[in-house]
Amino acid sequence: MSYSYAQTYFPPLPALEVVLRSPGGDSLGPFPALIDTGADMTLVPSPFLEQLSARPFSGGFLRSQWGERHPIDLFLLDFQIADLTLPGVEVAGDQHSREVLLGRNVLNLLILLLDGPSKTTDMLSNRPRSLR
């Protein structure tokens, strides 16, 4: 499956299209989710969590790239990406953003090819022979 980079940024950002599902079965999406290989975990905007009636299971702290520490609530959501379902993904509620940011807790479960020149992200079902 191939996805276009998010063109609203310069330079454009790699992205995947996702559907979010709460444990209760409500769903939201599909919409682009930005790929951030530097983020430890996935962030979901608080309004999305409210629309899904998601309930926090724990609290914690996140440290920004500038070293600032922020309190967060943690939630469990299912992620649908193409025909793949990732159940019970731990996400942090983000009160400051309007975009889903996919961190390494999701990215490390996927085989992705970021093609910068064509500005596409491909989600692969198997490793290409050249990467084995």
| Token pair belonging to 61 | 């702290």
**Which residues neighbour 126 within 8 Å (Cβ) at sequence distance 6 or greater?**
111
pLDDT of amino acid 132:
47
Q: Domains along the chain? A: 2-127 (2.40.70.10)
Contact 29, 45 (CB under 8 A): no
Give kind and range of the element (H or E) at residue 106.
helix 104-107
Instruction: Tell me the whole-structure pTM to 2 decimals.
Output: 0.88
Return the half-sphere exposure (C-beta side, CA atoms, 13 A cut-off) of residue 67.
0
> For the segment 57-103, what is each residue's pLDDT rounded down to a tens digit?
999 888 877 888 888 999 999 999 999 999 999 999 988 889 999 99
Choice between 63 and 35, residue whose per-residue pLDDT is larger: 35
Paired tokens of 96: 């400051």
Average pLDDT in the chain = 90
Q: What is the mean pLDDT of residues 112-128?
A: 88
Handedness of CA 21, 22, 24, 27 (dihedral sign): negative
Among 4-8, 63-67, 84-88, 127-131, the minimum mean pLDDT is found in 127-131
